[in-house]
Amino acid sequence: MSESTRVADVLIIGGGLSGTMLAVQLLRLPGTRRILIVEPRAELGRGEAYSAVELGHTLNGNAARMSVDPDNADDLTQWLTDYISAGGWPESYQQHVPISELFPPRGLFGLYAQQRLAQAKAVSTSIVEHIRAEGVDLQVDPTSALLTLDTGEQLRGACAVVATGMFAAARTPQTESTGLNAAALDPWDVPAMARLDPQSTVLIIGSGLTMVDAVVSLEQAGHRGPIEVFSRHGLLPHVRRQPPSWDDFLAADHSLSSPRQLLREVRRQCQLALRQGIDWQAPLDTVRAHIARLWSQASEAHKRQFVRHVRPWWESHHHRSPPLSAQLVARLQEQGRLRIQAASFKGLVPSQEGVAIAVRYRGEDVITQVLGAALINSSGIEYDWRRVARPLPQQLLKRGLVQPGPLALGIAADATGAVLDARGQVSQRLFAMGPPLRGMWWESTAVTDVALQAKALAARLAQR
pLDDT tens-digit series, residues 412-430? 999 999 999 999 999 999 9
pLDDT in tens, 93-112: 888 899 999 999 999 999 99
431, 417 Cβ separation under 8 angstroms: yes
Q: Give the tens place of pLDDT for each residue, 239-264.
A: 999 899 999 999 877 787 788 888 89
Residue 406's pLDDT is 93
**12 close to 127: Cβ distance less than 8 angstroms:** no
- The answer to whether the CB of 13 falls within 8 A of the CB of 162 is yes
Longest dimension (CA), the chain: 71
Output the average pLDDT for the chain.
94
Query: What domains lie within the chain, and their CATH numbers?
Result: 6-57+105-167+383-463 (3.50.50.60), 174-238+320-377 (3.50.50.60), 259-318 (no CATH)
Give Rg (Cα) of the chain: 23
β-pair type (418-420, 368-372)? unpaired
Closest CA to 335 of 239, 241, 219, 236: 219
- Predicted confidence (pLDDT) at residue 317 exceeds the cutoff of 80: yes
Q: Which residues pair with 162 in a beta bridge?
A: 13, 432
pLDDT digits 0-9 by tens, 26-57: 999 999 999 999 999 999 999 988 988 889 99
Q: For the CA atoms of 437, 438, 440, 444, what is the dihedral angle to 10 degrees?
A: 80
Write out the DSSP string of 98-109: -GGG---BHHHH
C-alpha span between 375 and 331 (Å, rounded): 21
**Distance (Å, whole) CA 339 – CA 122:** 51
pLDDT digits (tens, 9 = 90+) for 339-372: 999 999 999 998 888 899 999 999 999 999 999 9
User: For the residues 442-464, what does the mean pLDDT come to?
Assistant: 92
What is d(CA 379, CA 213) in angstroms, rounded to the nearest whole number? Answer: 12
Whole-number pLDDT of residue 3: 52
Residues in the chain: 464
Instruction: Work out the average pLDDT over 370-377.
Output: 96
Of 118, 47, 131, 51, which is closest to residue 79 (Cα–Cα)?
118
The half-sphere exposure of 3 on its side-chain side, counting CA atoms within 13 A, is 0
Q: Mention every residue, 6+ apart, whose C-beta is less than 8 A from residue 145.
A: 11, 138, 139, 156, 157, 158, 159, 160, 429, 430
Residues 406, 384 contacting (CB under 8 angstroms): no
pLDDT at 181 over 80: yes
CB burial of residue 390 (10 Å; 0-12, 13-18, 19+): middle
For 118-169, write each residue's pLDDT tens digit. 999 999 999 999 999 999 999 999 999 999 999 999 999 999 999 999 999 8
Q: How confident is the model at residue 1 (pLDDT cuts 50, 70, 90)?
A: very low
Q: How many CB atoms lie within 10 A of CB 120?
A: 18
Q: Residue 404 and residue 421: Cα distance in Å, rounded? A: 9
Each residue's pLDDT tens digit, 184-225: 999 999 999 999 999 999 999 999 999 999 999 999 999 999
Element containing residue 458 per DSSP (H, E): helix 447-463
pLDDT of residue 273: 97
